[in-house]
Amino acid sequence: MDVSIIIVSYNTAELTAACLESILASRRVSYEVFVVDNASKDGSAESIRKKFPTVKVIANATNRGFGAANNQALRDCTGRHVVFLNPDTTVGPESLVKITSFMDAHPEVGLAGPKVLNTDGSRQDSVSNRYPGHRYGAKDIGPLPGEIAFVLGACQIAGTKLLHKLGGFDEDFFLYGEDQDICLRIRKYGLKIGFIEEAVIMHHGGQSERTTLPAEVVRKKIRAELLFYRKHYRPETVRSICKMQTRRAAWRIFTNRILLAAVPNKSDALEKLARYQVILEEMAQYP
């Protein structure tokens, strides 16, 4: 088997079906597909079982989070490589063979990601050379293989044996941050992060969070960042980052409140204030 594909779904029945259809159209590659459903309320698990009988469905009774759900399927993967694929993506017919060929040709690369496009065909920013808090935390990490820090978690491919050695995703990350964390762990292991320009996926983005209030999405992301900082940076570095973010959020709250009366779109301005308030609240949790 060339590749095992794992999709974690959460109330994305239609999008997951479209993703699976694109996988079934893939050429010149042998694969198996797992869908781990995190207690969706839209009948995702039943719908997928009915429409795609060859797909291996794992239906969780509760939402276990992104990393933990991927790890469930990872234990049963038989492919040489594993592709972690978001349900709100579609893959080009040649993309799977291109990413597996890339990994076979580059043993120095532990994990890689393809080119990611928005639905309008524009390019999504899916590659970063810096980790969160890099300005303060780079010295704590030290020198690492390669130039790429991490690739977007919408689609990542890594060797199955390597993933088993690392224990898969860190399940302390419920949602957000796990893609950055696993890339850093792989670089610390001595391997590079790669980018596969010729392989393309389409990414709708944020569909599983479309019913979540924007401020609460910010809260989840901030908590993931704090977990990343605590795991990989020294305590004094984390304190410096938190102080900087607290000052920045407080200043933006102050200026936005002054400008609020003159802003025509009050709802957008109030939403920004709510986001900055969340940052203040979350940073206050760190001593």
**pTM value > 0.75:** yes
Of residues 60 and 214, the one with the higher pLDDT is 60
What's the rounded mean pLDDT across residues 128-139? 96
Distance between terminal CA atoms of the chain? 49
Superfamily of domain 3-209: Spore Coat Polysaccharide Biosynthesis Protein SpsA; Chain A (3.90.550.10)
- What distance in Å separates the CA atoms of residue 157 and residue 36, rounded to the nearest whole number? 17
Mean pLDDT confidence for 185-196: 98
Per the DSSP assignment, residues forming a β-bridge with 202 are 90, 117
Q: Quick one: average pLDDT of 173-184?
A: 96
- Residues forming a β-bridge with 203: 89
pLDDT computed for residue 267 by the predictor: 85
- Least confident window among 14-18, 223-227, 268-272: 268-272
231, 181 Cβ separation under 8 angstroms: yes
Tokens 């969340």, residue located: 278
Determine the pLDDT at residue 17.
Answer: 97
Pairing, β 31-38 against β 56-60? parallel
Average pLDDT over residues 100-111: 98
Distance of CA 137 to the CA centre of its chain: 21
- For the chain, percent of residues with pLDDT exceeding 90: 86
pLDDT at 210: 61
HSE (side-chain half, CA atoms, 13 Å) at 27: 4
Averaged pLDDT of the chain = 94
Per-domain boundaries in the chain: 3-209, 234-283
The residue among 34 and 286 whose pLDDT is bigger is: 34
The structure tokens 């079906």 sit at 17
Count of residues for the chain?
287
Alpha-helical (H) ranges within 119-259 are 134-141, 160-166, 178-189, 214-232, 235-259
Best CA proximity match to 144, nearest among 183, 196, 102, 104: 183
pLDDT at 260: 85
3 state DSSP class of 194: strand
Residue 49, pLDDT > 90, answer yes
